A and B are shown apart, each in its own frame.
Chain A
Amino acid sequence: MMKGQTGATGRPHMTSTHYSIFSVLREALRGHTGWGPAWRNAEPKPDYDVVIIGGGGHGLSTAYYLAKNYGPLRIAVLEKGWIGGGNVGRNTTIVRSNYLLPGNIPFYELSMKLWEGLEQDLNYNAMVSQRGVLNLYHSDAQRDAFARRGNAMRLHGVDAVLLDQAAVRKMVPFLDFDNGRFPIHGGLLQPRGGTVRHDAVAWGYARGADRLGVDIIQNCEVKGFIRDGGRVTGVETSRGLIGAKKIAMAVAGSSSRVAAMAGLRLPIESHVLQAFVTEGLKPFIDGVVTFGAGHFYISQSDKGGLVFGGDLDGYNSYAQRGNMPVVEDVCEGGMALMPRIGRVRLLRHWGGIMDMSMDGSPIIDKTPVDGLYLNSGWCYGGFKATPASGYCFAHLIARDAPHPVAAAYRLDRFATGHAIDEKGMGPQPNLH
């Protein structure tokens, strides 16, 4: 589709190479001088069929599946910063589908299946690694709750294995099993869960969307909506007016700010979540391990650094940085679980802004404004949802009807009493 087109600069578009062992060998032989950019840095056109606000994981995957499954469409992705600079590069890279409620399991399992075929689909190495996600339990009551969750998963065709202490000891022998307060009794394992290299997900989707003709427009901040009667007909941006038949928001922590420009008030609070990476170590944690007595999750990246995190700071924030009490709390969780990491030095630590919804579950729905679509409320589980979120959002935008596995993620579910509250915390965004 790209061949023969010319860009705004008048130069022909660089068509990115198909990646394969042969392209790697060819480039190895000519000193890697032939690699072109993986996607065009497009200039905005006056109008599009669909404009997607937000060039993060969800926005890019939406663009990709829209173009792939419902094209040909003229699609633009508007990104305020640069591709890979937002939450898609700020998460702890974990993917899993170990949910409990019927509104959630099929959606996250679709996402897991899309992860499993993602690299072949995109022709891009996203380092999808199904190394297993192990949730530990520390009491009889927690074991029962995990058995229930595991059964719910298996009834939906998701893999789940309930492990006793001996089995966990075999997998991760260095945990503090006989901790006085939080002894480890066993765990619930999802063997197909794991990690994916998050930057590669952003780049892979950007490249895939670009190859299908999507314009990815960076440094383009949306400043307002153009309305015609009740309908949105375009966006005002820092790079001029852009018309659109349909406008889709996928802006995570900025959801309330962007929706406010269209006069909407959302069931969302923005909160800061911190994450941590240590210096590189030799491999010793094979999979993802989570502590059941507090909130702490850890995995080891392929570079060797320990990647871990815990709870939200707990107060509204747009600051992309957190405070010391949560740093302390996360480290205490880590020490209670695996004391051997106590002398490892932190390499870096950061905060990301989460779109915390009132029930802890996402929203993929039309808004009361005609032509405006909303993808939001991912709380701190957005990364694992990236493929299915885009897949279902694309379906909604193209067909004006929800995809069957995302049909529960309605914006009006709070008013109608159909909240999907996995943790049973009620309408308190900082507790989900």
Chain B
Amino acid sequence: MRIACPHCGERSLDEFLYSGDATVKRPDFAGTTAMDDFVTYTFERTNPPGPHRELWYHAAGCHAWLVVTRNVSTHAVASVELARDVALAAKSATKDSAS
């Protein structure tokens, strides 16, 4: 398994740190269901057997946070995006739907 970092190209796995499921979102701490939401966010995972969106940190490289979409049953990497781009796209999508 190798990860193609958008900045550095295809690099060995030992340059990266894994940081788990990228689909969980930190809930609103001021919401009325905040306690339950934080339990779900912190501890519960879908843990699917197929494609999995996950966070990787290029620790021994460019220090970028990446969102990798990988099939966890075959280890085939489908896509690698910069986590920054993913976050910005999500932000502008929320803005569009709000306006």
What number of residue pairs across chains A and B have CB atoms under 8 A from each other?
70
Of all chain B residues, which has the CB nearest A321?
Answer: B75
Distance (whole angstroms) from the CB of B23 to the closest CB of chain A: 12
In the complex the two chains form, what is the Cα distance from A321 to B49 in whole Å? 14
Instruction: Report whether B72 and A317 are in contact in the complex, using a CB–CB cutoff of 8 Å.
Output: yes
Q: Is A29 an interface residue (CB 8 A)?
A: no
Within 8 A of B (CB), among A250-304: 256-257, 260, 265-270
Q: Is B10 an interface residue (CB 8 A)?
A: no
Distance (whole angstroms) from the CB of A144 to the closest CB of chain B: 29
Distance (whole angstroms) from the CB of A382 to the closest CB of chain B: 17
Instruction: Report whether B45 and A266 are in contact in the complex, using a CB–CB cutoff of 8 Å.
Output: yes
Instruction: Report whether B13 and A323 are in contact in the complex, using a CB–CB cutoff of 8 Å.
Output: yes
Instruction: Report whether A316 and B46 are in contact in the complex, using a CB–CB cutoff of 8 Å.
Output: no
Q: Is A315 an interface residue (CB 8 A)?
A: yes
Instruction: Report whether B39 and A256 are in contact in the complex, using a CB–CB cutoff of 8 Å.
Output: no
Q: Is A183 an interface residue (CB 8 A)?
A: no
Within 8 A of B (CB), among A376-432: 414-415, 427-430
Of all chain A residues, which has the CB nearest B44?
Answer: A265
Distance (whole angstroms) from the CB of B92 to the closest CB of chain A: 29
Distance (whole angstroms) from the CB of A359 to the closest CB of chain B: 9
Interface size, A (range) = 20 to 34
Distance (whole angstroms) from the CB of B91 to the closest CB of chain A: 26
Within 8 A of A (CB), among B1-29: 1, 12-14, 18, 20-21
Q: Is A319 an interface residue (CB 8 A)?
A: yes
Instruction: Report whether B14 and A325 are in contact in the complex, using a CB–CB cutoff of 8 Å.
Output: yes
- Select which of B12, B13, B20 is within 8 A of A269 by beta carbon: B20
In the complex the two chains form, what is the Cα distance from A374 to B52 in whole Å? 24
Best-surrounded residue of B44, B70, B73 (most CB of chain A within 10 A): B44
Best-surrounded residue of A257, A265, A315, A316 (most CB of chain B within 10 A): A315
Instruction: Report whether B12 and A430 are in contact in the complex, using a CB–CB cutoff of 8 Å.
Output: no
Please give, as numbers and ranges, the residues of chain B lying within 8 Å of A124 by CB-CB distance: none
Of all chain A residues, which has the CB nearest B36?
Answer: A415
Q: Is A318 an interface residue (CB 8 A)?
A: yes
In the complex the two chains form, what is the Cα distance from A270 to B47 in whole Å? 7
Q: Is A191 an interface residue (CB 8 A)?
A: no
In the complex the two chains form, what is the Cα distance from A245 to B61 in whole Å? 55
Q: Is A81 an interface residue (CB 8 A)?
A: no
In the complex the two chains form, what is the Cα distance from A321 to B74 in whole Å? 9
Instruction: Report whether A265 and B46 are in contact in the complex, using a CB–CB cutoff of 8 Å.
Output: yes
Instruction: Report whether A323 and B1 are in contact in the complex, using a CB–CB cutoff of 8 Å.
Output: yes
Instruction: Report whether B13 and A414 are in contact in the complex, using a CB–CB cutoff of 8 Å.
Output: no
Q: Is A224 an interface residue (CB 8 A)?
A: no
Instruction: Report whether A318 and B72 are in contact in the complex, using a CB–CB cutoff of 8 Å.
Output: yes
Please give, as numbers and ranges, the residues of chain A lying within 8 Å of B45 by CB-CB distance: 256, 265-269
- Select which of B21, B39, B46, B73 is within 8 A of A318 by beta carbon: B73
Q: Is A358 an interface residue (CB 8 A)?
A: yes
Interface string of A147-159 (1 = CB under 8 A from B): 0000000000000
Instruction: Report whether B73 and A319 are in contact in the complex, using a CB–CB cutoff of 8 Å.
Output: yes
Extra pairs beyond A316-B52, A430-B20 (8, CB < 8 Å) = A265-B44, A265-B45, A267-B44, A268-B47, A315-B18, A318-B73, A321-B75, A415-B43
- By Cβ-Cβ distance, the 3 closest A-B pairs, closest first, are A256-B47, A325-B14, A414-B43
Chain B residues within 8 Å of A, Cβ to Cβ: 1, 12-14, 18, 20-21, 36, 39-40, 42-49, 52, 54, 70, 72-75
| A/B interface sample: 10 pairs, CB < 8 A | A256-B47, A256-B48, A257-B47, A266-B47, A269-B45, A316-B54, A317-B73, A414-B42, A427-B42, A430-B20
